[in-house]
Amino acid sequence: MLPPRNRRAKLALQILGVFIAAILIPLLVVPLLGPGWHLLHGDFISYAGWRIPVPKAFSEKNSQAGLDMWKLTLGIPIFDAVYGHISIYGTGSLSPTRQPFNYERDYSRLETGVTQEAHQSGYRFESKRNVSVGKDAGYCLEYTRSVSIKHEVRGRSLLRCVIEDSVVAVYYEGDPRYVPEVFAMLQGMSFEVSNGR
């Protein structure tokens, strides 16, 4: 039998080992969520009549408001690491009757509201982009801001996109390096065959 001092030392080492494992496991597992999701679910999801490609290394999760896609990197959830977050949901806030988005009727209201919200959060306007989404046009507003994290200045992007004749909106927030993946996702969206469009 071990003397009491050795038992305490052994117990302390075991507790330290459990503590280190509890920190390391999430740090190492989080970056694997995206590839693991694609392995289990494939590369596409369905939402509101759309077939939507999930960008590589992003994972998808249903929420009450719609869909959330996350690109999480090494360091999350413990450290402030880069990430990408795509939200896809119905545009009930743009049109109380949930009418499909119409450029002539809705765009100026969208641009005013989104720009005001972005400026209040410290973002500045970057660009307007039109993209082809299925057979329709997508209209995107992009904003950027600088964020100081532990003496390092990083960029952060905010992207708001709506699709002509659709009730679906796509929002992105996160690292600017993932913005091209959002545009590729939009261009890869298509109506599902049963939708008849």
Top-confidence residue, 33 or 95: 33
Question: Among the listed ranges 22-26, 30-34, 95-99, 113-117, which one has the minimum average pLDDT value?
Answer: 95-99
**Counting Cβ atoms within 10 Å, is residue 185 exposed (0-12), middle (13-18) or buried (19+)?**
buried
pLDDT given for residue 79 in this prediction: 66
pLDDT given for residue 94 in this prediction: 46
Q: Which CATH number fits domain 33-195: 3.40.1000.10, 3.30.470.20, 3.40.309.10, 3.40.50.300?
A: 3.40.1000.10
Q: Where in the chain are the domains?
A: 33-195
* pTM beyond 0.85: no
pLDDT given for residue 95 in this prediction: 46
**Residue 137, token pair as written in the block:** 């046009």
pLDDT given for residue 1 in this prediction: 56
- The per-residue pLDDT for range 151-172, each reduced to its tens digit, is 454 668 999 999 999 889 999 9
The Cα–Cα gap between 99 and 119 comes to: 27
The Cα–Cα gap between 187 and 176 comes to: 18
pLDDT of 21 above 90: no
Top-confidence residue, 136 or 21: 136
**Counting Cβ atoms within 10 Å, is residue 15 exposed (0-12), middle (13-18) or buried (19+)?**
exposed
- Rounded to an integer, the average pLDDT of 18-39 is 73
> For residue 12, how many C-alpha atoms fall within 13 Å in the half-sphere facing its CB?
6
- The per-residue pLDDT for range 106-149, each reduced to its tens digit, is 999 999 999 999 999 889 999 999 999 988 999 999 999 886 55
- The per-residue pLDDT for range 82-95, each reduced to its tens digit, is 889 999 988 654 44
Q: What letter would DSSP give residue 142? A: E
Q: What is the mean pLDDT of the chain?
A: 82
- Cα 126 from chain centre: 19
Q: What sections of 30-135 are H helices per DSSP?
A: 33-41, 103-120
Q: In what order do the strands lie in the sheet with 168-174?
A: 59-62, 66-72, 83-90, 168-174, 152-163, 136-149, 124-133
pLDDT given for residue 7 in this prediction: 77
Question: Among the listed ranges 96-100, 180-184, 185-189, which one has the minimum average pLDDT value?
Answer: 96-100
